[in-house]
Structure 1
Amino acid sequence: MDIGLTFAKYALFLFNLLFAVLGIAMVVIGIGVSAKLVEYEDFIGNDLIPHPIVLIVVGCVMFFIAYLGCCGAIKEQTGMLCCYLFMMIILVGFEVGLICAAYSKRDQWESIVNEQLNYTLHHADKDQSFYASWNMLQTNLKCCGIDGPNDWNHVLPNDTIPGSCCQKAADDKTCTITEAIQTGCKTAFIEFLNSHIFTVIGYAIAAVVLQLLAIVFPCCLFSAIRRDERLPRRWHRF
Structure 2
Amino acid sequence: MGKAKYKKFFLFGFNVTFMVIGGFLIATGVYANVEKSEYYRNYKDFYDFISDPSIAVIICGSIILFVSMFGMIGALRDNIKFLHVYLFFVVFIFTFQIVIGVIGFIFWSEIKDSVNTAFLLAIIKYRRDPDLKNAVDGFQLNFECCGSTTINDWDQNPYFRCGAKTPEACGVPVSCCKIKEKISKVKTQQVSSNVTGPNFENFKWTDINLQCGYKTRQHHRLTYRNEIHTRGCLDALVLWLYDNMLVIFGVVVASVLPEIFGACLTFFYIAHIKRARQEWVDGNRRSHLFEKEAMTNF
TM bucket (normalised to shorter chain) is 0.5 to 0.7
Q: Which runs of 5+ in 2 are unaligned?
A: 31-46, 120-146, 182-207, 216-221, 287-298
Partner-residue secondary structure (3-state), 1:235: coil
Q: 1:11 to 1:119 in 2, by over 3 A?
A: closer
Q: Which amino acid aligns with 2:152?
A: N
The answer to which of 104-113 and 226-235 deviates more is: 104-113
- 1:110 and 1:190 in contact (8 A); partners too: no
Cα offsets for 1:200-232 (capped at 9, x unmatched) = 998765433211211111111101111221233
RMSD in angstroms over aligned alpha carbons?
Answer: 5.1
- The letter of the residue matching 2:2 is I
Question: Which residue in 2 is equivalent to 1:227?
Answer: 275
Structure ranking higher on relative contact order (CA contacts 8 Å, 6+ apart): 1
Kindly report which structure 2 residues correspond to 1:1-238, keeping only aligned pairs within 5 A, or say none.
2-23=1-22, 57-101=59-103, 104=108, 108=113, 113-115=147-149, 117-121=151-155, 124-127=161-164, 128=166, 131=169, 134-139=172-177, 167-169=209-211, 181-182=226-227, 184-186=229-231, 191=236, 206-232=254-280, 233-235=282-284
Contact 1:141–1:188, Cα closer than 8 Å, also in 2: no
- Separation in 2 of the partners of 1:179 and 1:135? 14
Letter in 2 for 1:235: N
How big is each residue's C-alpha offset from its partner over 1:54-89, in whole Å with a ceiling of 9 and x where there is no partner? 665344212211121011001000011011111111
Number of aligned pairs?
A: 200
The answer to whether the 8 Å contact 1:9/1:221 transfers is yes
Instruction: Provide the C-alpha distance between the structure 2 equivalents of 1:52 and 1:205, rounded to a whole number of angstroms.
Output: 26
Q: Is the 8 A contact 2:12 2:76 kept in 1?
A: yes
Partner of 2:172, secondary structure, is helix
| Cα distance per residue 1:101-122 (max 9 Å; x no partner) | 5563665557975446323259
- Which whole-Å CA distance do the structure 2 matches of 1:201 and 1:87 have between them? 23
CA contact (8 A) 1:95 1:204 kept: no
* 1:36 aligned residue: none
1:182-205: CA deviation from partner (whole Å, max 9, x where unpaired)? 452426786579889x99998765
Answer whether contact 1:92 1:211 (CA < 8 A) is retained.
yes
Return the alpha-carbon distance in structure 2 between the equivalents of residues 30 and 101 of structure 1. 29
Higher deviation after alignment, 97-106 or 74-83: 97-106
Structure that is richer in helix per residue: 1
Q: Encode CA deviations 1:21-71: one digit per residue, 9 max, x unaligned.
A: 55457768999xxxxxxxxxxxxx99x958996665344212211121011
How many percent of aligned residue pairs carry the same amino acid? 16
Cα 1:189–1:92 shift into 2, 3 Å: closer
**2:78 and 2:255 mapped to 1: Cα distance?**
25
AA matched with 1:93: T
Could you say what secondary structure the match of 2:173 adopts? helix
- C-alpha separation between the residues in 2 aligned to 1:141 and 1:234? 76
Kindly state the Cα deviation for residue 131 of structure 1 after the two structures are TM-superposed: 3.5
Q: Distance in 1 between matches of 2:267 and 2:155?
A: 57
Unpaired segments ≥5 residues, structure 1: 32-44, 144-165
Secondary structure class of the residue paired with 2:163: coil
**Normalized against structure 2, the TM-score is what?**
0.48
The worse-fitting range, judged by mean Cα deviation, of 223-232 and 181-190 is 181-190
